Amino acid sequence: MRGAVIVASPDSGEKEAMIKGVHNYGYEVLGASTGAEAVELIHHPKGLTAIVLSSGLTLPSTLDICKEIKAGKRSGKVPVFILENAALDRKPYADLGINKFFVRPFSTGTIAREIHETEKVAGALGTPPKKIVQQFFWVAILLGVGAIILAIFIFYPLFFGGK
């Protein structure tokens, strides 16, 4: 499994389709039918890859959930996708840094691909993998040793009796 994705929607058909579509891309999917269930899942112990919220969630509302997500230490950096009707006012969400909206009707495959692409970009911009850091370390050591050897060949004759 790639990572955990929350899918929250009060519409059971939409939620089940999203769960299946995202799971087919290799993600562990945590489903929620209410805003309260979604809030509980935000604190998933493994961490989250993405959060997909329907604009129709209540108690708390989708906007309130987004505020809580962005206020969280771990969850604040998790990308949030909003499933919306065309009439949704996006400004309050944009003020929170949320800019991934999907207008109904939408393809679950499109959303799953967008989650995957967002994850790839985040991985490319995040901390380099351990192996790359190790390779950089060894290259730096070899360059340092090479510089010392070169300095010895250049300066030794000048100070210790070169012709």
29 phi, psi to nearest 5 deg: -115, 130
Same domain, 44 and 79: yes
- Quote the number of domains for the chain: 2
**Residue 115 sits in the same domain as residue 131:** no
Residues 121 and 161 in one domain: no
Are 101 and 52 members of one domain? yes
Residue 133: domain span: 127-163
Does one domain contain both 162 and 118? no
Indicate whether 154 and 138 sit together in one domain.
yes
Amino acid 159: pLDDT: 74
pLDDT at residue 136, rounded to an integer: 74
Q: Which secondary-structure segment (H or E) carries 6?
A: strand 4-8
Q: Do both 106 and 76 map to the same domain?
A: yes
Q: Are 25 and 107 in contact (CB under 8 A)?
A: no
pLDDT at position 128, please? Answer: 47
Do 21 and 96 fall within a single domain?
yes
Residues whose CB is less than 8 angstroms from the CB of residue 66 and which lie 6 or more positions away in sequence, other chains included: 53, 80, 82, 93, 96, 98
pLDDT at position 131, please? 59
Residues 78 and 37 in one domain: yes
**In this structure, are 20 and 82 located in the same domain?**
yes
What is the rounded CA–CA span in Å between residue 156 and residue 126?
45
Tens-of-pLDDT digits for all 163 residues of the chain? 577 888 988 988 888 988 888 888 888 888 889 888 888 888 766 667 888 888 888 888 888 888 887 777 555 678 888 888 877 788 888 888 787 888 888 888 888 888 888 877 765 434 445 556 677 777 888 888 888 888 888 887 777 765 5
- Looking at the fold, whether 97 and 140 belong to one and the same domain comes out as no
| Cβ-Cβ contacts under 8 Å for 93 (sequence gap 6 or more) | 63, 66, 82, 99, 101
72 and 137 share one domain:
no
Q: Which two tokens stand for residue 2?
A: 């790639």
Contact between residue 52 and residue 81 where contact means Cβ atoms under 8 Å apart: yes
Peptide bond before residue 105 is cis, with ω within 30 degrees of 0: yes
Buried b (16+ CB within 10 A) or exposed e, 20-43: ebbbebebebbbbeebeebbebbe
Q: Are strands 28-32 and 80-84 parallel, antiparallel or unpaired?
A: unpaired
